[in-house]
Chain A
Amino acid sequence: MPSLTLLGQSLISGLLTGGLYGLLALGLSLSWGLLRLVNLGHFALAFLGAYLTYQLGTVARLEPWVSVLLIVPLFFALGVGLHVVFVRFRVAEFASLLVTFGMTVIIESLIQWFWTADFRRYETAYASASTRIGPLFVPTLEFLACATAAVLALATWAWLRFTYVGKALRASAEDPAMAAAFGINHRRQAFLVSGVSAAYAGVAGAYIALISTLAPAQMWAWVGVVFAVVIIGGLANPIGALLAGLLIGVSESLTMAVVTPAWAPLVSFSVLILLLVARPGRV
């Protein structure tokens, strides 16, 4: 029987890992839900953001938060640029999966060409820092990632719910023809969503650089679990993405602590299948 300390520590670990899942899922959920684009390239952008954070930190000696200030507008512009391409070639929902898969492979190859396939680790003084609460430890960077995910999810939720742009985006996603009849310019707003989504990938990437070890192929390790999080959380549902991330993170972590780590990858898809069986109209 696992000790209470082990269970508590695993719960903390799962919550914080789940926050990072939620952060990665946020942009993907927005582009899929509001633009009907299944953007696999989101993972490539996140890793590009991670490598840029690494490069700026290790070569230019910039603090990570300064790097993020540079990466966010850069990635926003990149997201807008990508959407120009999608619009120009009329990329539909299913085709977007294939197009962005190709884009991911290209970005992965570019990353490998520039940074090589070797592991990269962004060493910081606070990489292993944690705060002690009784017998439990809360890792600082993971906590910050989780807090960032919560802040961005709440802010995005409020933006979609209370602002004119947010309401217009939701209306366009639900019934584009009717929204257009009310004078909503969906095309212009789509560029905004694409930019925001890419910027979120950049933020997630900065945390990946700080928390994980980087290798180009590792971007694929996140695809399955984050897709599960997006579907469980509901498309274009920022709070849902965060909560689903936490749910998957905690489930994986407790499985690792109580049963065996080898079973952890089964958790996200088991939860997803259960949910789709219980609520088949989820996607």
Chain B
Amino acid sequence: MVPQSKIRCLAGVLASLLVLAFVTGTVAAPSGKPIRIGSTLALTGPLAQTALLHKIAGEIYVDELNRTNGLLGRPVEWIVLDDQSKPDVTRSLYEKLITVDKVDLLMGPYATSAILAAIGVAQRYQKMLIHNSFGMPHLAKYEMHFPVNPFGLEPNKTVPATVFDALASTSSPPKTVAVVTSKFPSTQFISAGARDVATQRGLKVVLFLEYEFGTRDYGPIAARIKDANPDFLWVGSLGLDSNQLLEAMKKLDYMPPRHLHLFPAPGPLATAPDGKLALSTTDFEEHPPFTSNPGAARLIPLFHERATKAGVPYIRIDAQAANEFAAWQVLEAAVNATKSLDDKALSEWLRKNRVDTLIGRLRFDGPNNFGDDLTKVKQVQESKWVVVWPKEYAAPGARLLPP
């Protein structure tokens, strides 16, 4: 017969060992040779403003990984090179990352043209490429690329359809539409689709204009929109195009009743007086139900802190930063599940499994590895972006406000 005190003592020792094992197993600092993940971002050039948000988000995620277990217990080193917003530079730098820096894994650059360039290099070396801002799915045929931005396979049809569904749900849906778009590949592609979808739905397209990426003078474009006088203006904008166009229209004492901006700089448009009630598309905004995700609660304050430190004027997380976080979540999930850094094994796993991310549950088993279109419509209300459509994703108490 073992004395009761000895049993208690033994149980105490076992419990202590279990706690110790749990603690060391979950928060042990990563050790060993770092896992090197290479990517480029447009740190300079016309896309730098948005790429900065991706850089901040990526750095936060890598720091958080290293603060806990890293990947496979090893620290993670993120090598980010500046592609200067140029696809040709992107191509060369991905070559360098693979052949000179010999990185273990790749992460995609920012924006469609650069991603397309990187996919070509990844394909040549049979490396997996996860990316998060690609707008022309039909061009990405490489079997080991994984698009995290949830546009679906045909964003030229599904994104405009979501927008026109939202407008149709209001008491005064538009009857005439003007489509004005930058010739930047993805914006032009989706905006041309908006023209077709509008026509199919019986709306009259009174104006379709394309302008060069980097246009300086929006006065004549504003004059043409005013001349056409549409009920709804679709702007296939990138960055600050939207602000400049709205300002140019205001100088002509004109503002269309409703206007949507495809990929605007979120902060400047939300805070500009002319941006009131402007519409745009998104897959994440800083309000429920998006913030109910436990990852979001952890990452949002970190992003605010870093973005403030980096001098970013609008520090709230929107689709850009959220997609970057999601890309890293997808990479982490694949590595942890396969316990491998082998590109083929990771790709195989991603094609067969779904991954829970900040922006929703993603799948990669569709054509060209694209999953569902998770686009939502957001609107500037009280100088903040809030999702207003579909209704189940709308911010608490928010709805699509009429002009």
Contacts and interface: CB of A to CB of B under 8 A. Distances in A.
Interface in A218-250: 218, 221-222, 225, 249
B252 A262 contact: no
Interface in A199-213: 212-213
B240 A217 contact: no
**Of B223, B227, B244, B250, most A-chain CB atoms within 10 Å:** B223
B312 interface: yes
A121 B268 contact: yes
A119 to B, nearest CB: 5
Chain B contact-residue range equals: 35 or more
Given A119-B240, A137-B251, A137-B252, A6 B48 contact: no
A151 to B, nearest CB: 22
B329 interface: no
B290 to A, nearest CB: 23
B230 to A, nearest CB: 15
B272 interface: yes
Main secondary structure on chain A at its contact with chain B? helix
B214 interface: yes
A61 B46 CA distance: 28
Contacts of B391: none
Contacts of B311: 115-116, 118
B316 interface: no
A64 interface: no
Given A116-B311, A215-B240, A261 B48 contact: no
Given A117-B49, A213-B244, A13 B44 contact: no
B86 to A, nearest CB: 11
A223 to B, nearest CB: 11
Contacts of A3: 227
Contacts of B244: 212-213
Nearest to A115: B311
Contacts of A10: 219-220, 223
B148 interface: no
Nearest to B310: A116
B251 A139 contact: yes
B296 interface: no
B212 A17 contact: no
Nearest to A136: B252
A117 B214 contact: no
Contacts, number: 139
B220 A257 contact: yes
A7 to B, nearest CB: 9
Given A116-B52, A137-B251, A261-B215, A218 B223 contact: no
Contacts of B220: 9-10, 13-14, 252-254, 256-257, 261, 264
Interface string A115-135: 111111101000111101000
Given A118-B311, A119-B239, A119-B268, A216 B44 contact: yes
8 nearest A-B pairs in the assembled complex, by CB-CB distance: A13-B219, A117-B48, A256-B220, A261-B211, A9-B223, A128-B250, A139-B251, A213-B240
Interface of A: 2-3, 5-6, 9-10, 12-14, 16-17, 108-109, 112, 115-121, 123, 127-130, 132, 137, 139, 142, 212-213, 215-218, 221-222, 225, 249, 252-254, 256-257, 260-262, 264-265
Given A5-B227, A121-B240, A252-B217, 7 more contacts: A12-B219, A117-B43, A121-B268, A139-B219, A253-B219, A256-B217, A261-B211
6 contacts: A117-B51, A127-B247, A139-B251, A249-B217, A257-B220, A264-B220
Interface of B: 43-46, 48-49, 51-52, 85, 183, 209-212, 214-217, 219-221, 223-224, 226-227, 239-240, 243-244, 247, 250-253, 265, 268, 272, 274, 310-313
